[in-house]
Amino acid sequence: MALDRIALENFRNHARSELRETRGFNLLFGENGAGKTNVLEAISLLAPGRGLRRAALDQMVGPAGAGFAIGASLREQGHESARIGTFVEGERPGRRQVRVNGAEASAASLGEWVAMSWLIPSMDGLFMDSAGARRRFIDRLALAIEPGHARNVSRYEAALRERNKLLEKGADTTWLDAIEAQAAEHGEQVAVTRSALVTTLSDELTALPDEPFARPLLTYRAGGPLERPALREEFARQRPRDRAAGRALTGPHRDELEVVMAGSGQPAASCSTGEQKAMLIAIILAHSALAAAGRPSVLLLDEVAAHLDPVRRSALFDRLRQGRAQVWLTGTERAPFEEITEEAAVWRVSGGSLEKL
């Protein structure tokens, strides 16, 4: 199953673009600024979340104003099985709406139809970034497998904000007990989902050969107790400390993803840029394999091939062939993709326009 008949209307620099007769490999090439990544971003919005750029909705609206629209067919064995779409109306620019087979649906429900993964250049510094960036990374991966994860994260964070306000005001313990119960309930679900994902990813990565991509070893470090009763007790015990700090110092919002390179045991942040990129690719490929189980899976790779040597590039294509995900790749020229050009659907992108080759 794959995405086909993908339509963009007034999305960034695409006034009206359509991609038909897609394949397992799909290649978009053109000059920088032509609109290649905009297509990937539009596709990423056919899944729960804020898309691969995490941009505000009004930043995605094209020059015509009055909102944007993105739609696609889910194709199975050559036949359309569903039509999914998302749009923003001009009079409601702050709200993204979703339709599935013409009926109104929630953004979270998109995760039941398609699992989306991506690797974009801005992710290259993940191992050097903050713990918060790595938590968002894990949450994004978890969302592709467990669509309800985003709701649990949102409710946990909302409960923590309310708890901070109550602590600041010196509220009665009854109110604190109630809000901490909510935080512990959703916090447990968040932590368990993250921990299970890291464990499953680690198993998938362990089965892979070390070459040609550096194999990462993942460890989930919980920021507090995982089980609800213990987490609730910890919140209550730490009220004086948290009141003085102005924030909760224990809980899933303090989780950390630790990554080291197999063999050397060197922390990913201390590895070379090339090694970090190779480990990140390995994680994304392992996740894509997991996400493809039971649902259509789409993998978006922005400017990946150009940064790999020929051996690793060929190995990447081989791994992608073996997977079940529909793959979308971008590049400024066709040369790095010659190995897959004959089996790919190819478009030239120029000034927000698409030409099928």
Per-residue pLDDT tens digits for 17-74: 999 999 999 999 999 999 999 999 999 999 998 899 999 998 999 988 789 999 999 9
91 pLDDT exceeds 70?
A: no
Q: Is residue 178 annotated as involved in ligand binding? A: no
Residue 76 maps to a domain: no
**What is the tally of structural domains in the chain?**
1
Cis amide prior to 212 (ω within 30 degrees): yes
206 pLDDT exceeds 70?
A: yes
Residue 46 maps to a domain: no
Q: Is residue 152 annotated as involved in ligand binding? A: no
Give pLDDT, residue 292: 80
* Percent of the chain clearing pLDDT 70 (strictly above): 97
Q: In terms of residues, how long is the chain?
A: 357
What CATH number is attached to the domain comprising 199?
Answer: 1.20.1050.90
Q: Give ∠ CA 60-87-353 in degrees, rounded to 5.
A: 55
Residue 304 maps to a domain: no
* Burial of 103 per CB tally in 10 Å (0-12, 13-18, 19+): exposed
Q: Is residue 332 annotated as involved in ligand binding? A: no
Residue pair 138/257 in contact by the 8 Å Cβ criterion? yes
What is the token pair recorded at 96? 């993204």
Residue 63 maps to a domain: no
Q: Is residue 30 annotated as involved in ligand binding? A: yes
Domain encompassing residue 188: 125-294
92 pLDDT exceeds 80?
A: no
Cβ-based neighbours of 272, under 8 Å, separated by 6 or more? none
75 pLDDT exceeds 90?
A: no
pTM above 0.85, yes or no: yes
Residue 31 maps to a domain: no
Torsion of CA 191, 193, 198, 199, to 10 degrees: 100
Residue 8 maps to a domain: no
Task: Report the Cα–Cα distance between both ends of the chain, in Å, rounded.
Answer: 23
Q: Is residue 305 annotated as involved in ligand binding? A: no
Residue 59 maps to a domain: no
Q: Is residue 102 annotated as involved in ligand binding? A: no
Q: Is residue 38 annotated as involved in ligand binding? A: no
Q: Is residue 33 annotated as involved in ligand binding? A: yes
pLDDT tens digits, 317-349: 998 998 889 999 999 999 999 999 999 999 999
Residue 83 maps to a domain: no
305 pLDDT exceeds 90?
A: no
